Structure formats: structure tokens, C-alpha cells
Amino acid sequence: MIFTFKINTHFLIMLLLLVSSCHDSNTTFPDKAPAENISNPDMEIIPSEPLPNGAINFSHFNHLYNEINFNGKKVGIIHIYSEYPNYAYAIEPNEGFTCVDDVSRAMVMLTKYLELYGDDDIAREKLKNLTEFVLQMQNENGYFNNFIWNDLTVNTTYRTSTATLDWWSFRALWAIESAYPFLKSDEDMANRIAMASERLIANIKRDLPTSYLTTEVINTIELPTWLPGKSASDQSAILILGLLNNYIRTGDNDSKTLIDHLAQGIILMQKGAANKYPYGAFLSAENLWHAWGNNQAYALLRAGQTFDNQDYIDSALMEIENFYPWLLQNGLAEAFWIHKVDTNFIEVEKNKYPQIAYGIRPMLWATAEAYRYSNDDKYLVIAKELELWMSGKNDANKAMYNPSTGVCFDGITGLNEVNKNSGAESTLEMLLMLLEIEKTK
């Protein structure tokens, strides 16, 4: 049920965003949005320094980022929607104007920025303020609510914002544990991160049914039953990344055990073989593969190296070496569904669009990590092919990222068709790719 909600919500959001038209490459962006574009004109915006541009243009990130007073404290927020042509902010009527999901993405992005470029007061301050927002969003039950409304009240009721075992809680864990090394000199912040993480992980350990690692068959596919949503390996990958950082910080063997159980479930979701469709792809949940958020190969590479587990590494490399080249050669897709017939898997349905940065970034991260692990140039070849999607080697024949403005379009919606809105998810996923490319250089 959890997984179904996520899929439907993502499709709904993409449909809401498809109303855009074309982008003028000469558009410029203020470091702060004009007051009339703010979703709540009475909201006090606290002035802040923009993240400086260099090899990567952060202008649109600076446009989406604001600092506000929330529950009596200064926090950083990221506006979710930014609509063409002038990239004014928008609000989703059922959800809100900022969320833990995208603020957490921004936190991970800033930690990658600090790892790459070294200590930077502006980036560190933004990271601290974004972390404050996420900590404020932890529900008394230990999970995280996701959205706030434009009157700064927390959305506690809509299905993509309830404090439950779901994407935004896992992403919050990844974000706060990623931020900890950069903020630990602030004793109060460090203690609050540790407490929030401990409360959340206690819930996850309690609520994931990992005592019995049983399987079931749905739509002809053998599936694990102990992952989030029973078989959501995509969510499991995000959870592994958060738990890995927790393990590195605390040495908690319970976190390692949970990572091992999640990794076993992810490997069970890998189907096909090097020469057999779908060529080692990790299904996202049940019999569905979707591009967005499929971080399984990257998570397994990270876990395999941390725990010296070759099975995790080999499983990740199977998808990277076989499925990624097949996908690039046969055409990127948004999603497909498979069935098993005898000993083979066949495709029964496919969605080609939308194709989005959130679908490319996980593959690029995995190939870059495979290169760092192996020093084998074949992974760089795949990474560079994925990188070309940004500059116009795609079904729209159009650059998806404008280095002069920092805008990343929200997606390719058909042959030669682009949604030219530029919201938080697209912007941050593009920045995560660009930072990874710079790191690999």
C-alpha cells in the first residue's frame, strides 16, 4: 500500500507539471524570488548569502532556497515547484510548498558540495538551516511528516505527508546522518541529530518484518516480504544509505544487521542475467521497474565496500554492466512491468515518458561509484553516455540543463517535447549529477 501511494503521487505530480511550454535560454534568476512570487506574501524571508557559482551554476538552487522562521527558529526551505517562463513558485493544493523530501535532497547535495570543495561557510550555514527544518518535521511518533502549508502549519493528513514508514522518513535519515560530520562541532545540533536518528531507526527496526525473511509470488514474480511496502527495493536503497552513515558514526551492529536484511531483499528483486532480459535490473517493487529513485546498485556498492561483501558488489555490477548499456541502446524508459514465463522474463507493459533527472542520476552515481571501486574505464564510458542526456542526447534533442542559468527542465514528455518547469527535484538531482561528475574528474 505504501508503494502504491508513492507511484500514484509521483505520476500525479508529473501530470500537474506537464502544462508548461518553452524556456528562454536568456532567462536570468534573482538570488531571491520577488515577494509577489512567494506562496505566502506574509511569510518573512530572512536574507541569506547565495551559494557561489563556479564550475557548476547554483543560481536556480539559490532561487528555490529561502530562510524563514518556523516554530520560532530560523530554518532553510526549498520551494518544490518553479514554473516556466519566469520560474515563479507554485504550491500543490493537496500537499504544500516545501517538504522534507526535497529539503533532504538539498542537504545531501550540500554535503557533496562540501566534500568536493572543502569548508565553505555559506554552504555549511545553509546545511545547518535545512537540517533544522528536517528536525522540526519529526513527528512525536518518531517518523517524519513531509509537507508544510503556506501558513507554515504541518500537513499531517495527506497520504504523501503522514508520519509513517515511507520515502520521506528514509530520506530524512540519509540527510541528517550525511549532515552530521559537517555539523558535529555544534554540540546541540549534533545531539539533536543523534536523538532524531535513534528515534527513527528504533521505529524502522520495530516496523520492518525482518524476523522472517519469507517470499511470495505476485504477478508471477518471486518477491521478498520484509522490505518497506513488502517489496519496495527502491525505498530500501535510500534506507541503506541512511543506515550506512549511521553505522559509520555509531558502529551499531543492529544497523548493520538491518542493512544486510535490506540488501538480501534488494538482491532478490534483481531479475534476469548478463545475457537474459531484463539483464540484471533491480525491480522497484512487485513486477515494476521505474527509473526514478532506483538507487539499488549504488547502495549495494556502498554497503559492499563498507562491509567487504563481494556478493553485494557483484550484484550491483551486474545491473551496471548489463542493464544500463541495454537501456541506453534500446531507449530510456520511465517504467516497465514484467512477468515470468517458464524460466524467462517478458515485458508486459512500458511507459517511455516522462524521462527525468531523478531517473538518470541514480544510474550515473552507480557507474561513477563502480569506476572508483574498480578503476575500470568501462564504467566511465557508461557514465559519460548517461551524462550526455543532460546536454541533448535524448528523445527531445534538447539540453536539459542550462549552465548559464542553473535551470534543469522537469522532464522529457515525448519525442521532441520538454516540460520546461524547473522544480526542486529536477534542480537538485541535476546538481547531484554535476557534483558527481566533478568528483570523478
* Residue where the block lists cell 548499456: 325
Kindly tell me the sign of the dihedral angle through the C-alpha atoms of 158, 159, 160, 163. positive
Q: What is the extent of the structural domain holding 376?
A: 2-440
Task: For residue 376, give every residue at least 6 positions away whose Cβ sits within 8 Å of its Cβ, in sequence order, or none.
Answer: 370
CA atoms of 277 and 326, how far apart (whole Å): 9
- Which alpha helices (DSSP H) does 208-340 contain, by range? 233-250, 253-268, 296-307, 310-318, 324-330
Tell me the residue length of the chain.
441
CB 155 within 8 A of CB 145: yes
> What CATH number has the domain bearing residue 218?
1.50.10.10
CA atoms of 131 and 135, how far apart (whole Å): 6
How many structural domains does the chain have? Answer: 1
Kindly tell me the sign of the dihedral angle through the C-alpha atoms of 101, 106, 107, 111. positive
Containing H/E element for 293?
Answer: none
Whole-model pTM: value is 0.91
First to last CA, the chain: 42
The residue among 175, 114, 119 whose CA lies nearest residue 439 is 114
Tens digit of pLDDT per residue, the chain (441 long)? 333 333 343 444 334 333 333 333 333 333 333 333 445 656 889 999 999 999 999 999 999 999 999 999 999 999 999 999 999 999 989 999 999 999 999 999 999 999 999 999 999 999 999 999 999 999 999 999 999 999 999 999 999 999 999 999 999 999 999 999 999 999 999 999 999 999 999 999 999 999 899 999 999 999 999 999 999 999 999 999 999 999 999 999 999 999 999 999 999 999 999 999 999 999 999 999 999 999 999 999 999 999 999 999 999 999 999 999 999 999 999 999 999 999 999 999 999 999 999 999 999 999 999 999 999 999 999 999 999 999 999 999 999 999 999 999 999 999 999 999 999 999 999 999 999 999 998
